[in-house]
Amino acid sequence: MDLNTFYKSTDKALKCTDDSTISSQREEDEGSKPKVNQEKELIGIDGYWYDVTNFIPYHPGGDVIREFVGKDASAVFHAFHKQTVLKHRKPYGTIEVAKQDHSKIGQAFTDLRIFFEKEGYFETDHFWYAKKFFITFVLFVICLYCSIVHADSNVRYVGAFALAAFWQQCGFFMHDFEHDQLTHNRHVDKWFGSFFGTVCFGISGGWWRKEHFIHHALTICVSPSKKFADPQMHEPVIWAQHEKLWPFYQSRLAYCCIKIQHFTFIPLCVIAGRLAIIVASLARERDLIEFTAFLLHCTWVTLLLSNFPSAKDMAIFYAIAAIIQGVLHIQLLISHYAKDYHDLEDVGMNLNWYQMQVESNIDIITPLWLDWFHGGLNFHLVHHLYPRMPRHNFRKATEYVKQVCDEHGLIYDHCGWFEAVTRTLHQLKHSSEHFSLDPR
């Protein structure tokens, strides 16, 4: 079924619920505030307020839920949850006033989500994943073979390339499973995420999940007054790609780093990216299970390196693998770094969440055979709009996203790999030229 046929098969444009008359209310009372009991922490979903006062400390997605208190969170809620999550929760009240995320653009992307659900786009193709597992296992076997059988010859460096590819693919698996895309059971997928992320890749899956969910909910958002910035889109001291980040970099060291950031970006990502993210994940991780998983990672890597005749050979082998895998860090940043940042306070109020995602993402256009290299995340917009969707559906789902963007006058930002890197470097250069230790 195509999208137009789907629209025609419904009486209206597929409202989330029959009671959800938010769109018309919004247009009538755009300047009003929701009538919220100030003693309760309330979040709006599909036309109802839900009391999350006692739930906030136990929210699996972390404290990010606090940023949507008193706001309509329908879009971001459905991005991460199935409707059944609310089946045991009774609404606190109905939303009578329309400070909400259901403009025509919001409704169009809501309709598209329902279309995707109806057409099975959120269902996982386990055979597809089985093939990916097999290929990743083969990469690991090649690494072992070259490192053990050919430890005394230059063939061992083929194993370093295989190890880098293995790490990269495990990183993509971690990403998928921390998004609950394998079994769609949060507890089960979290174990898979920790195995592929922490044990295989060497990055704490638990730490990554916490920061990544904030990144999805508040993509490239910033609030100096709250000392908040999207945790996966800013690097302390090293570089500041947008003027809204400048208040976080008021030191002489930061000034010196930022002035040359367009020169250091690629070398630092490639050469130091792996080590930096390992250190960052361990420094902020507090889960004993994740620490244990990381010790397992260190154990198998140490055993692998112990096959080489000297410490120098070990260092060269690991450095080659780490540098090749470092390209992944560039891949993950160029989809956002050249975009404008948003004010945190506007999200869910003056800024439609879906529109924010369209404005925050760049898709990297590549041939079909290169999707494996990008882990499907070259189609970054559809992933940010619908993070529950497995990546094997991104390419075909993106065609529908483009259609909705065209219909509503939104710019679907896309370009090739080298153009995206170039745009990122230009943005870094522009920021470096205008940066000041006193951004006021």
Question: Mind listing the pLDDT tens digit for each residue in 27-40?
Answer: 333 333 444 445 78
* Residues of the chain falling short of pLDDT 50: 10-37, 97-102
Among 61, 72, 62, 63, CA closest to 179: 61
Angle at which helix 104-118 crosses helix 353-360, to 10 degrees, equals: 80
User: Are 62 and 150 in a shared domain?
Assistant: no
CATH number, domain containing residue 110:
3.10.120.10
- Whether 348 and 411 share a structural domain: yes
101/145 same-domain check: no
> Do 79 and 173 lie in a common domain?
no
Give the pLDDT confidence score for residue 423 in this predicted structure.
Answer: 97
Indicate the number of domains in the chain. Answer: 2
User: Do 155 and 112 share a structural domain?
Assistant: no
Do 110 and 179 lie in one domain? The reply is no
Q: Same domain for 90 and 182?
A: no
Range of the domain at 8: 3-118
Q: Which of 118, 138, 163 is the last residue of a domain?
A: 118
Residues 84 and 215 grouped into a single domain: no
Return all residues near 128 (Cβ < 8 A) that are at least 6 apart.
Answer: 390, 392
Q: What is the pLDDT of residue 28?
A: 34
Of 118, 144, 161, which marks where a domain is finished? 118
Q: Are residues 267 and 198 in the same domain?
A: yes
- Structure confidence at residue 9 (pLDDT): 53
- The domain boundary, picked from 76, 93, 118, lies at 118
Task: State whether 166 and 289 are in the same domain.
Answer: yes
Q: What is the pLDDT of residue 98?
A: 47
Residues 210 and 358 in one domain: yes
> Which pLDDT does position 101 carry in this prediction?
44
Give the whole-angstrom CA distance, residue 3 versus residue 14.
Answer: 12
Indicate whether 178 and 325 sit together in one domain.
yes
pLDDT of the residue at 72: 85
